[in-house]
Amino acid sequence: MAKFRENLITNCEKKFIIKNLEDHTRLDGRAFDEFRELSIDFGRDWGCCYVSLGKTRVLAQVSCEIQRPKSSRLSEGILSINVELNPLGASHFESGRNSELQVVMNRILEKCVKDSRAVDMESLCIKINEKVWAFRVDINILNHEGNLLDCASIALLAALAHFRRPDVSCDGEETIVHSYAERDAIRTVIHHYPVCITYALFKEGTVVLADPTLLEEGVADASLILGINSYKEVCTLHLGGKALMDPENILKCTSKAAHRASLLVTEIKTVLKQDDERRVQGQINSFQSFKHAQGTKSLDTLTKYLDQWSVQKRKRDSKRKNTENGTVQPLGKGSAVLLPVEDDGAKSWKPSSDENESDSCS
């Protein structure tokens, strides 16, 4: 299979973005500290989560099986995270081959969730030194439009919180795994929800953009990734690139990221509660409501851009019309005046004699 080349950012695009940043504007109209719209939806199966951050889309699925525990953690379960970059997300992604982006995303997510002890691993133990639950989270990138890590971390936590594992009973040496029909499924115990917040740095860290798009990531000098929970505890910090950043700016970004993390955790818990209520009533949408909402949002966005284009076009046409409907009257050497014309063709303005005399004297 032929490998597609990654789309490179031209010098004109870089200059255009930097010029807009100097004017304090972004291409999508957001403020520097404004994030894109977030949508979270769950599938029919437990642990299936679909997250959309702007046009970046990620699908996470949790699965489990019984394994032997690690020799260093005899009474704890196993949690493995696998980020899959396939050609569906971007044309230059290759499935089955680890890329630098994939390795970095795996490491940061493991530091943020596993090393911070967000999931209660001891609750996954069935029998010490013999059998434990092994959780595997597969994160598939469906569309890459920038800030993959934030979207993947939200999908990871939402999928783990949504997942239910089967109940287990031990009868001597025999372990019985009960089906969902026999016994109620068991929730995953999560102590806290650490989410990743990404900032793009421009002009040696003096300009900081929250939730960068794909184009902004390619132009940025560096990126600051903060893994933080709703209790304002920093679980991981990653500074990539070649730009320096003052400690004061890092503290400002951390404060903003803590507020953003609190909002994200509240959103995750709200969506989980709504999904539980729908399942109690027997209403399992399987992404149907999400698809309908996405279609409506796309139509509203298109209408907004068309309205803005129409207003700007009318302004340009009116300026052009005012310039064309008139005559140029010379006032002397090197000077002239534009005289507008009324609807009947008569001149509504006339140059005064003082202007002609002053121009002739000069």
Residue type, 102: Q
Q: With beta carbons less than 8 A apart as the criterion, state whether 322 and 339 touch.
A: no
Report if residue 151 sits inside a domain.
Answer: yes
Q: CA 50, CA 140: separation in Å to the nearest integer?
A: 10
Q: CA 246, CA 248: separation in Å to the nearest integer?
A: 5
124: domain range?
11-289
Average pLDDT, the chain: 83
Res. 316: pLDDT tops 80: no
Please give the pLDDT value at position 190.
95
H or E segment and range at residue 264: helix 247-280
Using CA atoms, how far residue 86 sits from 18, 49, 95, in Å, is: 31, 18, 5
Please give the pLDDT value at position 193.
96
Higher pLDDT: 260 or 173? It is: 260
As a whole number, mean pLDDT of residues 95-102 equals 83
Res. 157: pLDDT tops 90: yes
Q: CA 158, CA 267: separation in Å to the nearest integer?
A: 10
- CATH number, residue 149: 3.30.230.70
Report if residue 178 sits inside a domain.
Answer: yes
Please give the pLDDT value at position 57.
94
Question: Among 209, 194, 200, 133, which Cα is nearest to 164's?
Answer: 133
Report if residue 350 sits inside a domain.
Answer: no
Please give the pLDDT value at position 299.
53
Higher pLDDT: 96 or 139? It is: 139
Least confident of 1-10, 20-29, 86-95, 266-275: 1-10
Higher pLDDT: 258 or 318? It is: 258
Q: Strand, coil or helix: what is 131?
A: strand
Residue 175 pLDDT class (50, 70, 90 cuts)? confident
56: left (phi over 0), alpha (psi -120 to 50) or beta: beta
pTM of the predicted model, to two decimals? Answer: 0.78
Q: Which two tokens stand for residue 255?
A: 């404060």
Count of domains observed in the chain: 1
Q: What is the pLDDT of residues 176-229, one digit of tens each?
A: 888 888 888 999 999 999 999 999 998 877 889 999 999 999 899 889 999 999
Higher pLDDT: 269 or 99? It is: 269
Q: CA 60, CA 187: separation in Å to the nearest integer?
A: 17
Q: With beta carbons less than 8 A apart as the criterion, state whether 158 and 60 touch.
A: yes
Report if residue 335 sits inside a domain.
Answer: no
Please give the pLDDT value at position 2.
44
Please give the pLDDT value at position 296.
46
Please give the pLDDT value at position 341.
60
Report if residue 64 sits inside a domain.
Answer: yes
Report if residue 40 sits inside a domain.
Answer: yes
Q: With beta carbons less than 8 A apart as the criterion, state whether 225 and 196 touch.
A: yes
Least confident of 15-29, 174-188, 229-243, 348-362: 348-362
Report if residue 307 sits inside a domain.
Answer: no
Higher pLDDT: 148 or 88? It is: 148
DSSP strands (E only) in the chain: 38-42, 48-53, 56-67, 78-84, 125-127, 131-143, 164-165, 168-171, 174-177, 186-187, 195-202, 207-210, 222-228, 234-241, 326-332, 335-340
Higher pLDDT: 104 or 2? It is: 104
Q: Which residues pair with 341 in a beta bridge?
A: 347
As a whole number, mean pLDDT of residues 114-128 equals 92
As a whole number, mean pLDDT of residues 346-358 equals 53
Report if residue 298 sits inside a domain.
Answer: no
Least confident of 49-58, 283-292, 329-338: 283-292
* Long-range contacts of 330-338, Cβ-Cβ distance < 8 Å, separation of 24 or more: 331/355, 331/356, 331/359, 332/356, 332/359, 332/360, 332/362, 333/359, 333/362, 335/359
Res. 241: pLDDT tops 60: yes
Q: What is the CA radius of gyration of the chain?
A: 29
Residue with tokens 């089955």: 96
